[in-house]
Structure 1
């Protein structure tokens, strides 16, 4: 595994936005994680959901295991005024031999359309390219999730195509747009240098 991902608490990368911080997800965050991953508007286009606080412990364990097993890293998006989470974003399914990783994110609906992800995701993408030696970042987006699709396009992701009826969820087949950002894509140089 790539040794660039230092997973000790003191070395966990923290990023500051205007009124929010991207920080390590902590045990105290379980209530917000459950609120998000049980909210009908969030899970409508997200691949994971939970029916109870106890079941959400599985997600908390997943965040920890990503770091311990060096398979990725996720950040909590916390309000700076009270340190309460409003969402999460991160990188998972790291394949260091192929220099690729998957991107994921979600926000509580009260915080939608505030530009939080548009300001936050460049930090973690820069982290992936610079510190994790990533060449390709991949994202899946359901076609109905137009806001997420547009966000990724604004960040420079390329729509490579759509996998038709590739998943079965909620009693119906789902298609998934496939998007990627490659280290050599136009705009990534500016991203890596911190201009975006």
Structure 2
């Protein structure tokens, strides 16, 4: 059963095909993708397939992706999850994205704290990693504020619009 997590202002829940329009709007937005290392999504069918892939990843214990729903408005405001999840090595990498109109409201911090706790307490993780564009000041700041340690710089690690970017690699240990 897919875990539903709750914070004061958020519900982290399984993504479903009905979320496809919101996800397409988010991940076709150049501002969101500027530091995401992903090409823009272009169709609802593409997004629905991605949602099915998320479900398979969870079933096969390779990853878990939640939709971030704001309680007050009852709609999706972003996504968050773990990928590169390894039961054997007790680690996973975190990623998250919020709709631009929700940036700066503390929602990312609230959601990240919740899944860090879930990862350590429920999934048995010992290490949570993060790979972040060096230029993504907000995300770098968020991670360090939450206790992540910068381990180094991965040179020309992520491409956005066919341009290579360096990325910081972070970890948080249990």
Answer whether TM exceeds 0.5 for this pair.
Answer: yes
Indicate yes or no: 2:120 matched with 1:129.
yes
Q: Aligned residues, how many?
A: 173
Indicate yes or no: 2:4 matched with 1:14.
yes
CA change 1:18–1:130 in 2 (3 A) is closer
| 2:93 equivalent among 88, 98, 102 | 102
Higher mean displacement: 96-105 or 169-178: 169-178
CA change 1:47–1:168 in 2 (3 A) is closer
Normalising to structure 2: TM-score of the pair? 0.93
SS at 1:71's partner residue? coil
Structure 1: gaps (5+ residues) = 1-7, 184-196
Cα pair 2:94 2:128 within 8 Å, conserved: yes
How far does the alpha carbon of each residue in 1:159-187 deviate from its partner, in whole angstroms, 9 at most, with x for none?
0110111233313111110000011xxxx
Ranges of 4+ aligned residues in structure 1 off by more than 3 Å: none
Indicate yes or no: 2:110 matched with 1:112.
no
Alignment of 1:35-54 (within 5 A): 35-48=25-38, 49-54=40-45
Cα pair 1:29 1:84 within 8 Å, conserved: no
| 2:160 equivalent among 166, 169, 174 | 169
SS at 2:89's partner residue? coil
TM-superposed deviation, 1:72: 2.0
Larger Rg: 1
| 2:133 equivalent among 142, 146, 153 | 142
Cα pair 1:94 1:102 within 8 Å, conserved: yes
SS at 1:149's partner residue? helix
Cα pair 1:86 1:108 within 8 Å, conserved: yes
